[in-house]
Amino acid sequence: MLRHPVLVLPFLFLLLIASILVTTCIGVSGLLLWNFDTEMLQKLLFEVRLPRVLGAMLVGLGLAAAGCAMQGLFRNPMADPYIIGTASGGALGAAFAIVLLGGLFLPALAFLGATLSTIGVYMISLRNGRVTGETLLLSGIAVSFFLSALLSFFMYISGNSLHQIMFWMMGGFWDVYWDKVLLGLLIPAACMVLFVFSRDLNVMTLGEEEAIHLGVNTEKTKRILLLTSSFITGIAVAIAGGIGFIGLIIPHVMRIIVGPDHRVLLPASMMVGAALLMWADTAARTLPVEIPVGIITAFFGAPFFIYLLRGRTRV
């Protein structure tokens, strides 16, 4: 295990900057170095590619951060940002917008669906002012099933919009422009909140009782972390739909590399998640046929994950 965060974090930061520069230069119309039409170049670069790259970066770092917080909070490396109903809630909001409003207010409704379902799950799990991780997970599963039933109903009656809903659910950045990037700037702001609580998160992974003994206000911490994570996930869903895998695998992989201390794990996961999603999106848009980026992340991520799991003697 690498335990030299002092070196790891600057290295990852350089990797992130390099990824932004390189992926912006790659596209279906070829590398920009060969293009002489400067006006065309500027338009393409600053109005199409750069916002898309930055959008992927913001969503990537957001999902990785939310995944990190959820895994720490639930003390479970299999948790992801969507685990407490966020994905199905967001999808239902989006489907609602597509079927009934012709796609109007889609990001807003997706955000609303994602955050409302999370808050619903939290309220359902609340007993005497307390929630336990187990109840949250089970309530999340129950609510997800319920919302999925509604979603299936919408898809069933959607007729021509079915393809649109499916495309949205797999996630992608094909319609990300500067307005969505501005919206996405809320993500790093919310990630700062998670980072402020990283030491509390460390202690929380010891178990709730031990955290109480060490002086953590566990209920308050849980509430803040859940709310912030679902806010981040809601924004990510509003920008790019339901991109899977980043929030599950990145924290897990980075925990193997830099260790479980969230003060290092959180920023490291954010940078790697951002870089990975930028590259995945670059692949998605440069392939002969543009495909949803969620397919790319899962297709390459899952085998890599299996390789890591097999390679470790202890999990």
Partner 1 sequence: MTPVISAEHLSVSYGDHKVLADISLGVEEGQFIGILGPNGCGKTTFLQTLSRVFAPDAGGVMVEGQDISAYDTKELAKILGCMRQETDAAFPFTVREIVLMGRYPHIRRLAPLAEADLVIANEAMKTTNTLHLADRLITEISGGEQQRVLIARLLAQQPKILLLDEPTSHLDISHQIEILNMLRDLTPKITVISVFHDFNLASYFCDRLVLMSGGGIIATGAPAKVLTAERLLESFHVRMLVNMHPLTGKPYLIPEYGTTATPAAQHVHVMSGGGTGVVLFHLLLLHGCRVTAGVLAANDSDAAAAAALGIEAVVEPPFVAVSEASVRRLKLLLFDADAVVVAAMPIGFGNLSNLSILLETDVPVYFLGKCEDFADGRADVLRARLCECGAVEMSEITDFLRRIV
Query: What residues line the site for partner 1 (CB under 8 A)?
Result: 1, 3, 72, 75-77, 196, 199, 202-203, 205-207, 209-210, 212-217, 255, 259-261, 314
For residues 63 and 59, give the distance between their C-alpha atoms in angstroms, rounded to a whole number: 6
CA distance to 94, 174, 303, per residue, from 178 (Å)? 20, 12, 34
3-state SS class at 224: helix
Bridge partners (DSSP) listed for residue 127:
130
Decide whether 103 or 259 has the Cβ nearer to partner 1: 259
Decide whether 110 or 203 has the Cβ nearer to partner 1: 203
For residues 37 and 47, give the distance between their C-alpha atoms in angstroms, rounded to a whole number: 15
What is the closest distance, in whole angstroms, from the C-beta atom of residue 45 to partner 1 in the complex?
Answer: 38
Decide whether 163 or 312 has the Cβ nearer to partner 1: 312
What is the closest distance, in whole angstroms, from the C-beta atom of residue 202 to partner 1 in the complex?
Answer: 6
3-state SS class at 256: helix
For residues 170 and 242, give the distance between their C-alpha atoms in angstroms, rounded to a whole number: 6
Angle at 211 between CA 209 and CA 212, to 5 degrees: 65
Decide whether 129 or 288 has the Cβ nearer to partner 1: 129
204 touches 217 (CB < 8 A) = no
Decide whether 77 or 103 has the Cβ nearer to partner 1: 77
What is the closest distance, in whole angstroms, from the C-beta atom of residue 203 to partner 1 in the complex?
Answer: 5
Residue with tokens 């590398």: 31
Q: Tokens standing for 35?
A: 């293009």
Q: Tell me which residue of 110, 107, 270, 247 sits closest to 183, measured CA to CA.
A: 107
For residues 158 and 152, give the distance between their C-alpha atoms in angstroms, rounded to a whole number: 10
Decide whether 76 or 286 has the Cβ nearer to partner 1: 76
What is the closest distance, in whole angstroms, from the C-beta atom of residue 241 to partner 1 in the complex?
Answer: 30
With a CB cutoff of 8 Å and minimum separation 6, the contacts of 185 are 58
What is the closest distance, in whole angstroms, from the C-beta atom of residue 205 to partner 1 in the complex?
Answer: 5
What is the closest distance, in whole angstroms, from the C-beta atom of residue 240 to partner 1 in the complex?
Answer: 29
Decide whether 52 or 255 has the Cβ nearer to partner 1: 255
What is the closest distance, in whole angstroms, from the C-beta atom of residue 206 to partner 1 in the complex?
Answer: 5
What is the closest distance, in whole angstroms, from the C-beta atom of residue 131 to partner 1 in the complex?
Answer: 15
For residues 166 and 224, give the distance between their C-alpha atoms in angstroms, rounded to a whole number: 32
Decide whether 102 or 207 has the Cβ nearer to partner 1: 207
Task: Return the exposure string of 71-84: e unless at least 16 CB atoms fall within 10 Å of the residue's CB, then b.
Answer: bbbbeebebbbbbb
Tell me which DSSP letter residue 245 carries: S
